[in-house]
């Protein structure tokens, strides 16, 4: 049976974190729970979500959520509405780096993202999760967010999405800017700004945040930060109830759009 939210916890803030069964999303969910939140831990694979929620424990509840499937988004929103009545925080964390053939080396994956040869099918698949998924989940949860006294939306982006940084000839990541993953994060930044502008009058904060140079397969494990360290800024932004809106920050502070 599904865990039901206990009535005594109804005064706790409520959060939904997508793609939270591992990595940065898992760390965000864990930190929110430690700070008194009821957390809906979104996972495309429900079994993986249940394992992650059990590992954290407390007021963390697994919820089946594939951001590319509207039916699962609608079901998740309906469940949150019935159990908690509102949503105070949405963290759009779910993302994929590529959608090509499995087993490719990192070098092969990066090379395939070059704009002159990138597969349109792979671009569409990655953008479906990274961009359209963010829009779909945000649109679907807005009715619940509008019931909060201090609603926030946090979109997990990447420094690679900064056109200002990438345009600098001295940028070390310039040669890695591709139309599959990197450009999808630029689009996430644009989506963040669009929602921030529209929702500013409703006092709903919308911000983008980069985990920074975290050691993952995305950077051939050359990152200098662990997942725990890389999660610090996303966690800070997620927990900030009285901060500004329309910001893009990373571990070292503000990032250029």
**The pLDDT of residue 225:** 64
Q: Is the pLDDT of residue 17 over 50?
A: yes
The tens digit of pLDDT for each residue in 108-151 reads: 888 889 999 999 999 999 999 999 999 999 999 999 999 999 99
CA distance 234 to 231: 5
Q: What is the mean pLDDT of residues 209-213?
A: 87
Q: What is the mean pLDDT of residues 207-229?
A: 66
Higher-confidence residue: 107 or 257?
A: 257
The tens digit of pLDDT for each residue in 57-87 reads: 999 999 999 999 999 999 999 999 999 999 9
The tens digit of pLDDT for each residue in 173-205 reads: 999 899 999 999 999 999 999 999 999 999 999
Q: Rg of the chain's alpha carbons, rounded to an integer?
A: 18
The tens digit of pLDDT for each residue in 31-61 reads: 999 999 999 999 999 999 999 999 999 999 9
Q: Is the dihedral of CA 73, 74, 75, 80 positive or negative?
A: positive
Residue partners of 124: CB distance under 8 A and separation at least 6: none
Task: Enter the DSSP assignment of 214.
Answer: B
Do residues 63 and 47 make contact, with C-beta atoms less than 8 angstroms apart?
no
Q: Which residues are catalytic?
A: 181, 185
Hunting for tokens 């831990």 — which residue is that? 41
Do residues 29 and 41 make contact, with C-beta atoms less than 8 angstroms apart?
yes
Q: What is the mean pLDDT of residues 233-244?
A: 96
Do residues 49 and 43 make contact, with C-beta atoms less than 8 angstroms apart?
yes
**The pLDDT of residue 214:** 54
């Amino acid at each position: 049976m599904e865990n039901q939210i206990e009535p005594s916890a109804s005064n706790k803030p409520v959060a939904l974190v997508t793609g939270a069964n591992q990595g940065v999303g898992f760390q965000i969910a864990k930190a929110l729970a430690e700070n008194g939140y009821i957390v809906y831990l979104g996972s495309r694979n429900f079994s993986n979500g249940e394992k992650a929620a059990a590992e954290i424990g407390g007021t963390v509840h697994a919820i089946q959520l594939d951001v590319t499937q509207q039916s699962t988004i609608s079901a998740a929103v309906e469940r949150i509405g019935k159990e908690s009545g509102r949503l105070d925080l949405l963290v759009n964390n779910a993302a994929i780096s590529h959608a090509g053939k499995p087993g490719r080396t990192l070098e092969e994956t990066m090379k395939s993202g070059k704009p002159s040869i990138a597969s349109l099918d792979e671009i569409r698949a990655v953008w479906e999760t990274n961009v359209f998924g963010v829009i779909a989940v945000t649109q679907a949860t807005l009715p619940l967010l509008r019931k909060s006294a201090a609603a926030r939306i946090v979109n997990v982006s990447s420094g690679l999405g900064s056109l200002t940084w990438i345009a600098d000839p001295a940028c070390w990541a310039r040669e890695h800017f591709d139309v599959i993953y990197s450009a999808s994060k630029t689009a996430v930044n644009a989506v963040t700004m669009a929602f921030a502008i529209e929702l500013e009058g409703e006092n709903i904060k919308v911000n983008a945040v980069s985990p920074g140079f975290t050691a993952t397969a995305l950077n051939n494990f050359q990152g200098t930060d662990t997942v725990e360290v890389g999660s610090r800024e996303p966690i800070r932004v997620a927990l900030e109830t009285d901060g500004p809106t329309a910001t893009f920050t990373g571990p070292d502070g503000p990032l250029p759009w």
